[in-house]
Structure 1
Amino acid sequence: MTETTRYETDWLTIPDLVELLDEPLGRVRRLIDEDYLVGSRRDGVFKVPAVFLAAGRPLPALRGTIIVLHDAGFDPDETIDWLLTPEQTIGVAPIEALRAGRKSEVRRVAATLA
């Protein structure tokens, strides 16, 4: 793999998510608790990569992929890192492939990581 640069993304705080998703705080927390989104502490503040949203909603293909990675033993930081780092077998960062509609391919690769 010649390209190891992580996928560039902005990071959103919980208040950012409340505003962008136009949802109450409790609903935003449930989206995270139920694996529709994944985030971690960055610079001491819980944040979610902005690239995990599409059209003002969590990316539809993201939840199942997060669940596969959690089942493989990935913690939230490892999940985010894997999604944002180019994967040789996919040819791009997994999040880029998910955004392009290649969820089966991404999940197949993620399932081999257990």
Structure 2
Amino acid sequence: MTDSVPTASDVPAREWLTLPAVAELLDITISKVHQMIREGALIAVRRDGIRMVPAELVANRTVLKHLPGIVTVLRDSGYNDEEALRWLFTPDDTLPGTPAVALGGDLATEVKRRAQALGF
């Protein structure tokens, strides 16, 4: 990822973490966080000029299990990282809250299916 990371002023995440905070939470180096972002294992966007990650994507000191696959599918469907986050955090009445919330539960497969359908 380059410095032209999109902004996330309208992504409705509840809490945001700086990249150093993510590194500390996951007990990894900041370089590893940057690598995870480049490889699509994590999404970071700019908020007020600082690259940040929605805290909901980092649960129990790990990245949500299915997030890397969803990021890949969304990017393959033409979504940039801001659009992907917007999709992940848009409330959906057929899911328990948002796709991001559902990824952490029993509906992860359904979220993947819906993300795959976006490309068609």
The TM-score, its normalising length taken from structure 2, stands at 0.83
Partner of 1:9: 14
How large is the RMSD of aligned CA atoms in angstroms? 1.6
* Percent identity of paired positions between Structure 1 and Structure 2: 38
Aligned partner letter, 1:43: D
User: Contact 2:13–2:54 (CA<8 Å) still a contact in 1?
Assistant: no
Q: Does 1:99 align with 2:100?
A: no
Task: Give the secondary structure class of the aligned counterpart of 1:12.
Answer: strand
* 1:49-68 map, 5 Å: 49-68=54-73
Structure 1: unaligned runs, 5 residues or longer: 1-5
- CA offsets 1:35-82 (integer angstroms, 9 cap, x no match): 111010011110000000111011111110111111110000000110
Aligned partner letter, 1:85: T
Aligned partner letter, 2:70: T
User: Contact 1:85–1:93 (CA<8 Å) still a contact in 2?
Assistant: yes
Structure 2: unaligned runs, 5 residues or longer: 1-10
1:15 to partner: Cα distance: 1.1
- Whole-angstrom CA distance in 1 between matches of 2:30 and 2:21: 10
2:39 to 34, 38, 49: 34
The TM-score, its normalising length taken from structure 1, stands at 0.87
- Whole-angstrom CA distance in 1 between matches of 2:27 and 2:35: 14
- Whole-angstrom CA distance in 2 between matches of 1:112 and 1:60: 20
1:70 to 68, 75, 98: 75
